[in-house]
Structure 1
């Protein structure tokens, strides 16, 4: 056991332990921060800023509406399906303050994916953007969702700008398909109603669930990781500790282009930046690079949270390269492997080194990170405070320092388990609290860790987990498909891209475009394969199980020879 190994591996100024018990729950942190930083900006989007004091007032209004008008009971689940807009933190903290569990939902989900998540979580209320309300209209009747609250992109803006933005989005860009959801209420109407009502502030226990964050784990159908108040308070304190004295309380402006519904951005911006009273600039559509860079030009930002794909896209943009980086001091990378060439180019352009970390939904998510003043490129840093890591072999035995094996993590940020899936929980989390990550890693002599490979077949596309089982289920339903398999292949832009292999049934006529089109109907865009290859047969075991690893190894060899 390497328990004592980590004690002297932390740079000066970074504690080896944190105390999550100093706060009763997330709401305790929220109240403390919103009082301490009441006049400081909390979140900005589309030119509008709300302070921490305003965040507390607005989330209280939303909490009052939910408690008095939704008919929900404490502990019930609320699905929140929004991109990065000001309504998101208001809804999340309002739901928590009313005593409910947040179910973060990807706005890009297809009806099939929404239906699974809403039913699996038992969500009883949905807060969604009008842009995807037409999908909610299809899905809600098939679920236990009793009420839908709908918001438009510009709802938190001043009246004239709100009207302009919402009109452009709906009628000019035609981004809001028509919908009809009986009984649906507008987000702003809910706030207005809640403004005149009182509510009983929830007092959840440390081990109560705060968020159900959906993930496939390492394999299979999407599961809800039960993240408790204790888990998330611990991780916000761990993130804050690892930033040392570089990040000043109440003084930083941090760019938030990654979606808040993803655990990486959720914990960093809604949790770690909240406890330190810093300002988050929410980017609603980071894929629109010119508009994104225009937003960056308006504010003297000091921090940036992103991933490899985004760093590449920005570095390729001339306007970005000409920005003023004089206030810039922290760049954090996670969600997918950081390529060394990308990190070096980013530093050359911005003057700011990229600090890479590692985590999973199941670890809230931060497990290891490079200390800001001691970055070692090519590694995922050291364990965050109060966290242990070990490497095990296939038999579960701990291996010697420097040897490769499966990375396991133990700490206060490790999830309670998977929602209503004890068997899946037991496969990943042992009785001592060690979480098997499914990633192959090495612990170096200096305490820094390196990820070597992925144990399972999960594909990581631009920081999003994609699970071959799900893709193959969809492909197998396509008429004319006899056999199919999905693997990840190296991709310069997204880290990995999806390649699928299909064997046609006798006499079937099926094209690459047809396969992609039918998969697009059932899957979020990032899950649609980039490459489709038809074969006469796929490699299988003697019992007929398709050997994905063999297919993946073939593709890796091809990439290496190019």
Structure 2
């Protein structure tokens, strides 16, 4: 696209505010409601915040956590932490005290910043309670808005400026800048260590795919999601573009923000794009500033693709994984609707991408297998989990994504399944075992199995099947209430079926395919003649 220039290849994600502050200090960087922070202001804020963090004892490798909606101050702290060689992690305001406790206990941050209140919930007491339960020594601090005076910054005056500068200068591209928690088959969230190099590469490659001058994106995904901090923040930062923050996704608010903020690209999960396109005012809205629309995290229905096609903008589908950091595939510029709907595009030529078949071979075109990726910028591993890290990498350094795909003869990848039983609901990763563990912590539950079923609004929703303990009685309402006390609302199953026993495969494992078929037929019940689950 005319006027687009490739961003510079800097070593660290925290270098970019300072680069653009030198090139064009007045250029808008972060926008939130009526507030605008320029690149000059961003660089200054990051530098002062980094010194305040250093004065507070943050050293290379230390973790700093932030609980917030998508707001500019979370990204300032992220960049300031990364500048010192620290590791930043986001906490989701939707999470319960139990979920926050787990992350604080696992990551052991030195500092935790928390927003005060949002949509009727007071967060400071919950974060302090979670820190207490985690036996954390973290200092819990209030998160101040950018226009507000932040007392925390007063600590910068006490910092050893030379020592802080030395710490910043010694950070390497291979060092981790973020922890993003993701769950595996055990349901226990693991902290993926995301490198500076991975975030920089994400920004450079994805902004090249957009090829939009003065890239301006809306950030409305949770800050503990790689899509939120990576695709929606680091990509425009690396490109020298602007980020428009919205505290939560609301389809009408997103549509209404495009014209006044002159948003040039819209990257969302498919559910978000579906809801925006379904608005009554979509066809008449002023979307003349848009140059590109993209999505990741799942397929976009063909009829919705056609809605955006009518805008005469570039359309891009992509596929990535938290552990890879940058996207694995992108559809070609000008890809037709069938490719956009049925595939996730071609593998990035700078990545080594192969499909590992069930018999341990590297698959050929037309063969199904597990998507594996090799590149120096993939995650550094799972935080303090060497066994899990070793399990996800092959002996010769290939990262096993757990996603199954098939490389078509036209070179485009079609995903067959993602993370085995994991599914996407409204853009969130849902890991059944995590929900099953919560259900099975209720004494009346002998065993639980969670599968997904298609949903018009959320792409997929969870359906739970419960085998009660003998001689006990429990209702679906009681089980849902139990989940709501322990899980974020998006993880609570939308349907709960109580059955005599969970169906089993001949090998003794739960017959999840049967349950998944049952879940799509509300009136059906699993075959109860199967042998009961072993207790």
Fold match (TM-score > 0.5): yes
Q: Aligned-pair distance for 1:144?
A: 2.6
Once the two structures are TM-superposed, the CA of residue 445 in structure 1 deviates from its matched residue by: 2.3
> Which of these residues, 113, 133, 156, is aligned with residue 146 of structure 2?
156
Partner in structure 1 of residue 136 of structure 2: 144
Distance 1:361 1:217 in 2: 12
Partners of 1:234 and 1:86 in 2: how far apart? 22
Q: Map of 1:69-84 to 2, 5 A cutoff?
A: 70-84=56-70
Counterpart of 1:393?
Answer: 357
Using the TM superposition, give the Cα deviation of residue 557 of structure 1 relative to its aligned residue in structure 2, in angstroms. Answer: 7.1
Distance in 2 separating the partners of 1:428 and 1:198: 41
Check if 1:93 corresponds to 2:79: yes
Measure the CA separation in 1 of the matches of 2:142 and 2:243. Answer: 24
Q: Which residue of 2 aligns with 1:314?
A: 276
1:238 aligned residue = 205
1:480 aligns with 2:444: yes
Q: Is the 8 A contact 1:219 1:458 kept in 2?
A: no
Runs of at least 5 residues in structure 1 that lack an aligned partner in the other structure: 1-10, 160-186
CA distance in 2, matches of 1:551, 1:515: 18
Q: 1:369 to 1:217 in 2, by over 3 A?
A: farther
Q: Find the aligned partners of 2:333 and 2:98 in 1 and give their Cα distance.
A: 41
Is structure 2 residue 208 aligned with structure 1 residue 222? no
Task: Give CA deviations for 1:90-135 in whole Å, capped at 9, x if unaligned.
Answer: 1111112233111222221111111111121121211121122221
Mean Cα deviation higher: 333-342 or 530-539? 333-342
Q: Equivalents in 1 of 2:152, 2:422: separation in Å? A: 40
Q: Distance in 1 between matches of 2:216 and 2:175?
A: 32
| 1:553 equivalenced with 2:514 (yes/no) | no
Unaligned runs of 5+ in 2: 118-122, 525-535
Q: 1:373 to 1:41 in 2, by over 3 A?
A: farther
The Cα RMSD (Å) is: 2.7
- 1:46-75 Cα offsets, whole Å, 9 max, x none, are 12111111111111121111111x223322
Aligned mate of 2:316, from 329, 333, 355: 355
1:467 positional shift: 1.5
Does residue 350 of structure 2 align to residue 368 of structure 1?
no
Relative distance call for 1:472 and 1:284 in structure 2 (3 A) is same
* Aligned residue number for residue 24 of structure 1: 11
Match of 1:162 in 2: none
Per mean C-alpha deviation after superposition, the further-off stretch among 515-524 and 31-40 is 31-40
Aligned residue in 1 for 2:48: 61
- Name the structure 2 match of 1:102: 88
Residue aligning to 1:190 = 152
Structure 1 residue 363: Cα displacement: 0.8
Within 5 A, what are the aligned runs for 1:377-416? Answer: 377=340, 378-416=342-380
Match of 1:302 among 257, 264, 268: 264
Q: Does 1:453 align with 2:420?
A: no
* Secondary structure class of the residue paired with 2:396: coil
Shift of 1:356: 0.9
Corresponding residue number in structure 2 for 1:428: 392
- TM score, norm. by length of structure 2: 0.88
- The range that moved more, 324-333 or 141-150, is 141-150
Q: 1:508 aligns with which of 453, 472, 479?
A: 472
Query: Which piece of structure 1 moves more, 396-405 or 23-32?
Result: 23-32
| Partner of residue 461, structure 2 | 497
> Could you tell me how far apart the structure 1 residues matched to 2:84 and 2:380 are?
22
Q: Secondary structure at the match of 2:30?
A: strand
**8 A Cα contact 1:33 1:274, kept in partner:** no
Cα deviation digits, residues 489-545 of structure 1 (max 9, x gap) = 111211110000012233433222211111000001110011111111111245753
State the secondary structure of the residue aligned to 1:102.
Answer: strand
Counterpart of 2:224 in structure 1 is: 261
Distance in 1 separating the partners of 2:172 and 2:114: 28
Question: Does structure 1 retain, via aligned residues, the 8 Å contact 2:314–2:334?
Answer: no
Q: Which residue of 2 aligns with 1:37?
A: 24
Counterpart of 2:528 in structure 1 is none
Cα distance in 1, alignment partners of residues 16 and 30 from structure 2: 17
- Cα contact 2:181–2:191 (8 A) shared by 1: yes
Return the offset for 1:137: 1.7
Task: Confirm or deny: 8 A CA contact 2:423 2:429 kept in the other structure.
Answer: yes
How far 1:453 moved relative to its partner?
A: 2.3
Q: How far apart, CA to CA, are the structure 2 residues paired with 1:379 and 1:26?
A: 30
Distance 2:428 2:41 in 1: 32
Change (3 A) 1:467 1:150: same
Structure with higher RCO (Cα < 8 A, 6+ apart): 1
Change in CA separation of 1:258 and 1:72 when aligned onto 2, cut-off 3 Å: closer
Q: Number of paired residues?
A: 509
Confirm or deny: 8 A CA contact 1:386 1:412 kept in the other structure: no
Q: Would the aligned equivalents of 1:306 and 1:334 in 2 still touch at CA under 8 Å? A: yes
Q: What is the deviation of 1:327?
A: 2.0
Shift of 1:192: 4.5
Structure 2 equivalent of residue 530 of structure 1: 494
Answer yes or no: is the 8 Å Cα contact 1:391–1:399 preserved in 2. yes
Secondary structure (helix, strand or coil) at the match of 1:112 reads: helix
Q: Distance in 2 between matches of 1:76 and 1:277?
A: 28
Distance 1:298 1:559, change over 3 A: farther
